[in-house]
Amino acid sequence: MKKLNRREIKKLKEDLSYKPVLIWDKLSAAQEREVEREAKEYKVFLDYCLTERRTVDWLAREAGRAGFEEPCPGRACLVVLYRHKCGALAWLGRRPLSEGLRIVGSHIDCPRLDLKTRPLYEEAEMAFFKTQYYGGIKKYQWLARPLALIGVAVKPDGRTVEIEVGLKPDDPVFTVADLLPHLARKAQYEKKLSEAFEGEKLNVIIGSRPLGDGEVKDRFKLSLLSLLKERFDLSEADLVSAELEVVPAQRARDVGLDRALIGAYGHDDRVSVYTSFQAALEAVRVEGGPARPGICLFVDKEETGSDGSTGAQSRLLEQVTAQLFIAAGLQPSSWAIEEALFNSRALSADVSAAFDPDYPEVHEKRNAAFLGYGPCLVKYTGSGGKYSTNDANAEYLGWLRGVLDRARVIWQAGGLGKVDEGGGGTIAKYLARYGLEVVDFGVPVLGMHSPFELISKADLLMTRRAMAAFFKAE
């Protein structure tokens, strides 16, 4: 081997090594301002989009406000929303549908507490709602914190009643009381963490002011029923046909003296919803239209396995693709839809786990995502011996790297955590069923699935850019 001098060695190292880049090191003053602008808008989005339904409302409203259906001369731009809980933005490109689309899929559901079908009861002179947790929560994180109640109830005559309590500054909030430490020894401390907090104890306090005198049976529950009637025109039976979610009653906040992070409920996966939506608006405005048709897909139920008619395992994507065929004046035959999807390229836009310095033992440092290094490309998720995952093809990853690098996006590559530590999945494997190319891609999150998740503002901006580049790619 040829002897190299120190300068040559340094150059060799720079040329050959892969070293992730911290976004903050590369931002100009103007870009720093852009980061702040984006973060501000995103926090407004988060404060409104606390449930799937509200997120769908937001998408419909903002797509309309941005004139999404109008800036597409000669090409169709569609806003398709289903069952108030999922949907898509979709558009035609310069190339035909049969050659494939650019698809970014994210999920709009987040872990939370759902009211049970028959939630209302009274115990020890207090009224409660029984809940069932939705998605992977650490139950103790939901105790002793202000909670809001949001959702709808649908009456037998078809009328929908909207319920939203706990968001306005002077609204009352709800809570699940935690046990005092003085008496927690046997009930909590001596138990394994997985057993110390029971699902059946996640009961939300909703009232403690009685109706009538001591002669009236269940007068605390009755008092609440009377309030529900007065305020929302609801009876106890109406709660059967309701979808009511209990979520943290808090706003998205800057975190740290330097305000580099955003703390909020629901970054997973509303940060992908927000960034892909903004990227879609940008892509359709390209002069002459983007090369490829595209779909910005928003699904529900990811946190519980993507089942159900609004989840990624439903045939939502086929429905949306069919609508694009119709918009293009083509017959949406099942073969044509299959061909278009088979030739498509997709990002499964979902958050990744950011390295947690308090728990380095669960991460594999060389393959962990770090806050501030951009969206993370995750070749495969799943667990153990690569079970239950889509494992992206090398050819696709090569192409995607080219797209990101040409758009000067700062991104990183990594995985979820140590091989034997646990695991998780995304909608990638359901999108992959169409035979399309797909890979997981998204913002690193610290404290994922907690009521107060953290992301870096710099990653937010870079992820939006990455998705715009993807939608615009040839």
State the nearest-atom distance from the C-beta of 110 to Mn ion, in Å.
Answer: 7
Query: Between 148 and 353, whose beta carbon lies closer to Mn ion?
Result: 353
Which of the ranges 29-37, 259-267, 305-313, 347-355 carries the binding residues for Mn ion, by CB under 5 A? 347-355
Cross-strand pairs, 299? 107
Query: Between 72 and 431, whose beta carbon lies closer to Mn ion?
Result: 431
Query: Between 238 and 302, whose beta carbon lies closer to Mn ion?
Result: 302
Query: 299, 68 in Cβ contact below 8 A?
Result: no
Handedness of CA 450, 453, 462, 44 (dihedral sign): positive
State the nearest-atom distance from the C-beta of 252 to Mn ion, in Å.
Answer: 17
Tell me if 269 contacts Mn ion by CB under 5 A.
yes
Query: 85, 108 in Cβ contact below 8 A?
Result: yes
Encoded one letter per residue, x for contact with Mn ion by CB under 5 A and - for no contact, window 222-261 reads ----------------------------------------
Query: Between 134 and 140, whose beta carbon lies closer to Mn ion?
Result: 134
Q: What does the alpha-carbon distance between residue 415 and residue 244 come to, in Å, rounded to a whole number?
A: 34
- Measured CA angle at 365 (ends 362, 366), to 5 deg: 140
Phi/psi at 235 (5° precision): -110, 175
Q: What does the alpha-carbon distance between residue 99 and residue 91 come to, in Å, rounded to a whole number?
A: 14
Query: Between 238 and 350, whose beta carbon lies closer to Mn ion?
Result: 350
The binder of Mn ion chosen from 109, 350, 440, 453 (CB under 5 A): 350
Which of the ranges 81-89, 198-206, 225-233, 350-358 carries the binding residues for Mn ion, by CB under 5 A? 350-358
**Rg, C-alpha atoms of the chain:** 24
The 8-class DSSP code of residue 211 comes to S
State the nearest-atom distance from the C-beta of 392 to Mn ion, in Å.
Answer: 17
- Measured CA angle at 313 (ends 202, 453), to 5 deg: 45
DSSP-H helix ranges across 328-379: 334-342
Q: What does the alpha-carbon distance between residue 224 and residue 218 come to, in Å, rounded to a whole number?
A: 10
Query: Between 38 and 350, whose beta carbon lies closer to Mn ion?
Result: 350
Strands 261-264 and 453-456, by their bridges, are: antiparallel
State the nearest-atom distance from the C-beta of 36 to Mn ion, in Å.
Answer: 26
State the nearest-atom distance from the C-beta of 352 to Mn ion, in Å.
Answer: 9
Token pair for residue 202? 């996640």
Q: For residue 79, what are the CA distances in angstroms to 280, 297, 313, 350?
A: 11, 10, 20, 21
Which of the ranges 173-181, 273-281, 348-356, 360-368 carries the binding residues for Mn ion, by CB under 5 A? 348-356
Query: Between 71 and 424, whose beta carbon lies closer to Mn ion?
Result: 424
Which of the ranges 181-189, 221-229, 254-262, 343-351 carries the binding residues for Mn ion, by CB under 5 A? 343-351
Tell me if 440 contacts Mn ion by CB under 5 A.
no
Query: Between 449 and 472, whose beta carbon lies closer to Mn ion?
Result: 449
State the nearest-atom distance from the C-beta of 348 to Mn ion, in Å.
Answer: 9
State the nearest-atom distance from the C-beta of 164 to Mn ion, in Å.
Answer: 24
Q: How many residues bind Mn ion (CB under 5 A)?
A: 3
Which of the ranges 59-67, 242-250, 262-270, 332-340 carries the binding residues for Mn ion, by CB under 5 A? 262-270
Query: Between 268 and 459, whose beta carbon lies closer to Mn ion?
Result: 268
- Measured CA angle at 270 (ends 407, 83), to 5 deg: 120
**Shortest CA distance to 42 belongs to which of 209, 274, 248, 222?**
274
Which of the ranges 35-43, 292-300, 344-352, 464-472 carries the binding residues for Mn ion, by CB under 5 A? 344-352
State the nearest-atom distance from the C-beta of 396 to Mn ion, in Å.
Answer: 21
Query: Between 134 and 399, whose beta carbon lies closer to Mn ion?
Result: 134
The 8-class DSSP code of residue 93 comes to -
Classify residue 135 as exposed, middle or buried by CB count within 10 Å of its CB (0-12, 13-18, 19+): middle
Token pair for residue 77? 């731009």
Token pair for residue 16? 């050959």
State the nearest-atom distance from the C-beta of 421 to Mn ion, in Å.
Answer: 16
Residue 172 identity (one-letter amino acid): P
The binder of Mn ion chosen from 245, 268, 300, 437 (CB under 5 A): 268
The 8-class DSSP code of residue 177 comes to P
Largest pairwise CA distance in the chain: 98
State the nearest-atom distance from the C-beta of 17 to Mn ion, in Å.
Answer: 31
Which of the ranges 349-357, 388-396, 430-438, 455-463 carries the binding residues for Mn ion, by CB under 5 A? 349-357
Tell me which residues touch Mn ion (CB under 5 A): 268-269, 350
